[in-house]
Amino acid sequence: MKVLVTGGAGYIGSITVEQLIQAGDEVVVLDNLYQGHRAAVHPAAAFVQGDLADRGAIDALMAAHRPEAIIHFASYTLVGESMQKPFLYLGDNIRNGLNLLESAAAHGVGKFILSSTANLFDDPERMPIDENERIVPGSPYGESKNILERILYWLDRTMGLRYACLRYFNASGASAERGEDHTPEAHLIPLVLQVALGQRADIAIFGDDYPTPDGSCVRDYVHVLDLAQAHILALRALDQGSRTYNLGNGQGFSVKEVIQVAREVTGRPIPARVVARRPGDPAVLVASSDKIRRELGWSPQYSDLRSIIESAWRWHLSHPQGYAGQASE
């Protein structure tokens, strides 16, 4: 299948591109390189540098490459930033998504995968969180994904567009060649590993008085290779209809557990300090992925925290400056 991957130079996007190519698909990557890295794009993928704000550029790409399906990662994704810049997230994320969808409809693309988010569940009534949980977005970022999910629902009903919304929890880990390199970095595991590399003095624990076994927040970490496989499985299943899935391991690990396992994996001390809670941080967020396991046979291959951190550590050791200085392919 010929697949357009927007944001295919980013963390999850580039590893999904890698896995699609290994599965025999033909891939076109569209990325503006705002957060992505040209060096992260698989050499077998066609690369187009462009912006989803430019409808003409999208139409030109569609006409030139004629994709059969789209996987849409490209987005502003920082929850905290979205609270400071709501128009950027509620504006650009939605407008750019509409530009892509309108162009897809005009060029006969009938399959669409949306990279959605666990930030739809700011106040869950049940744990673990399944697809029937009420939607309470936790930020303008989460709301932008919620609106795109609703747009896809109506495009299926009115135009027959087949879609999958994949709501993932904490993406983590690395493949052999591609890993996590954000500026600024906001995710716990790479931040912890930066301390191990001597690039940061310590790691902050935002509160240790939560109602959890060790007092620190508990999150569901899912390996990026397992996420990539979920995208591929969902893509193959779209002929049988649209669908929505929550993606996680189904088990939670605390901040303190992550730090301790990272110490064991790296053999380095990794100093930590407790600071005040961050406003809005829930004590526990864990996904139920029973639906995708049951319907598509998805089974995470890296379900334990140690294997996730080991894969990330291997990549960070071989790429201590991320993709900086790595030649583009």
DSSP category for residue 82: H
Total Cβ atoms within 10 A of residue 14:
31
The catalytic position among 11, 76, 141, 302 is: 141
Helix (H) / strand (E) containing 147: helix 140-159
What residues contact residue 133 under an 8 Å CB cut-off, 6+ apart?
Answer: 121, 124, 125, 126
* CA distances (Å), origin 140, targets 22, 78, 92, 137, 176: 35, 10, 11, 8, 34
Q: Is 141 known to be catalytic?
A: yes
Task: Kindly calculate the radius of gyration of the chain based on its CA atoms and give it in whole angstroms.
Answer: 19
Q: Which two tokens stand for residue 251?
A: 């088990």
The contacts of residue 63 (CB under 8 Å, 6+ apart) are 107
Q: Distance (Å, rounded) from C-alpha 284 to C-alpha 213?
A: 11
Q: At what angle do helices 255-266 and 188-196 cross, to 10 degrees?
A: 40
Beta-bridge partner residues of 166: 115, 245
**Nearest of 71, 36, 67 to residue 51 by alpha carbon:** 36
Closest CA to 290 of 115, 131, 125: 131
The pair of three-digit structure tokens given for residue 12, joined into one six-digit string: 């999850």
Query: In what helix (H) or strand (E) does residue 27 lie, and over which residues does it extend?
Result: strand 26-31
Pull the structure tokens for residue 49.
């540098």
Active site residues: 141
